[in-house]
Amino acid sequence: MLVIVIILVSGLLLGRLLRKTSIPKNIGIAVNITLMLLLFALGVSVGSNDEVLRNFPIIGLDALILSLAAILGSIICGKFVYNKFFRHKSNK
Amino acid sequence: MKQSLIYLLLFIVGILLTIFVDLPEFLVASSFSKWVLYLLILLIGIQLGSGKNLFKAAKAFGGKIVLVPIATIIGTFAAVSLVSIFLPHRSLTDCLSVGAGFAYYSLSSVLITEARGAELGALALIANIMREFCVLIFAPLMVKYFGKLAPINAGGATTLDVTLPVILKYSGQDFLVISAFHGMFLDMSVMLFVPLFLSL
């Protein structure tokens, strides 16, 4: 995690330095391409894991139920916090 | 949304290619996705660093920023506990351990595999990948029906890196600080709560 924070901060500083150049405009495209690569890499990790592949039918449903529950629980609480503490008259 | 579907497609292609094709060694190595992730974070940092000043945004939020990860934690544990009633073959602590992964699938599944075995570990892996995935694909819907914090809450520990781009896109650039803080807070929470529930 520390590595991630260091990289993020380095990027922020680098971005600050590159402000006046034309590089930042093209970064969005680079982000998209990298995201696509990351999702592919994720697929490769899953595909190369025999444990996951073998168990998928059996535990897939449990995983789906738990993840949906976790998401719903989080966003319902989040909605409460959002409405109560983060909405200003100027926001929508 | 279209972009999210492209991501899903690439994910599936990744799985299928790995199963049916002999991929070059460097692609299959676990360090590959790690380095791609680092590259992504660097690019996001540059993108944000070259944009407008972030410190005003941080000051504007103040102490209530802590409520966002707390909402995620409470919401996740409550929902997962409730659902464990309907999964008689999974104990309460099993379900809580999986939920405590907060989409941080790599760390949580390793911790769980070591304590409770590969089956629960694989479940945690799949469930937390799905959680991350749902944010990448459904972020716009989450924002529409549950507000701008929704994809952050849903994204759990991934809101510092993997899901940050979609959060910024659909909730807005102003949510960078909240999202990054939320991700950091939950990264630490995973390391606290997963071992805790595994020991109960």
Q: Are B79 and A69 in contact (CB under 8 A)?
A: yes
* Closest approach of B162 to chain A, Cα-based (Å): 8
Share of chain B above pLDDT 90, in %: 42
A39 touches chain B (CB under 8 A): yes
For the ranges B40-49, B151-160, B164-173, the lowest mean pLDDT is seen at B40-49
A11 touches chain B (CB under 8 A): yes
B115 touches chain A (CB under 8 A): no
Residues in chain A closer than 8 A to B119 (CB atoms): 55, 59
Calculate mean pLDDT across residues A47-52: 78
Q: Is the pLDDT of residue A7 over 60?
A: yes
Q: Is the pLDDT of residue B1 over 60?
A: no
Inter-chain touch B68–A81, beta carbons under 8 Å: yes
Listed by start position, the domains of chain A span: 1-48, 50-92
Residue B60 amino acid letter: A
Q: Tell me: the pLDDT tens digits for B108-159?
A: 887 787 788 767 887 898 899 899 989 998 999 999 999 999 999 999 999 9
Q: What is the pTM of this model?
A: 0.72
Q: Which residue has the higher pLDDT, A34 or B3?
A: A34
Rounded to a whole number of angstroms, the distance between the first and last alpha carbons of chain A is 34
SS3 state at B33: helix
B5 touches chain A (CB under 8 A): no
Residues in chain B closer than 8 A to A12 (CB atoms): 45-46, 48-49, 54
Q: What is the ipTM of this complex?
A: 0.77
pLDDT of residue A92: 45
In 3D space, the residue among A68, A44, A45, A66 whose CA is nearest the CA of residue B123 turns out to be A66
